[in-house]
Structure 1
Amino acid sequence: TLTGHSARVRAVAITPDGTGAVSASYDNTLKLWDLATGSERATLTGHSDLVMAVAITPDGTGAVSASDDNTLKLW
């Protein structure tokens, strides 16, 4: 079980190599996870409203998130 968000988790994407995940939450953040250990690698902040969706690039080097603040952010 991965815990750390302070509000509902809306979306999750798995890295192409299967070792990590990115979760998007109603707490306005995204979190990077190590799936082998279940530990949180980082919290991504920058949205000012609910994060509704996340996708990881095919090469695993980036992500894009969509928020109710009417923006997409590249990570």
Structure 2
Amino acid sequence: MSDQQLQHLIKMVNQISANNLHHGDAEQSAEVIATHLRKFWARSMKQKIIDYAESDGLELSTVSRLAVKRLSEPQEA
């Protein structure tokens, strides 16, 4: 995936976060966003944003960073 594609993913997750801040506090919003990413993003997109968040993540908003962290955690059955 190119740097341009990564920039697009960063922009998208930050936009999703901005549009979901009304779900209560940052933790609640992060869970809504992580659920959205699990449902609608391709595995490769999710892995790319997780890798970015773990290596740098500076361009992610605070809520985006929380959501991606939740996305990277194993799902409970």
Answer whether TM exceeds 0.5 for this pair: no
Q: TM-score, normalised by structure 2?
A: 0.22
Higher relative contact order (CA 8 A, sep 6+): 2
Give 1 or 2: higher helix fraction: 2
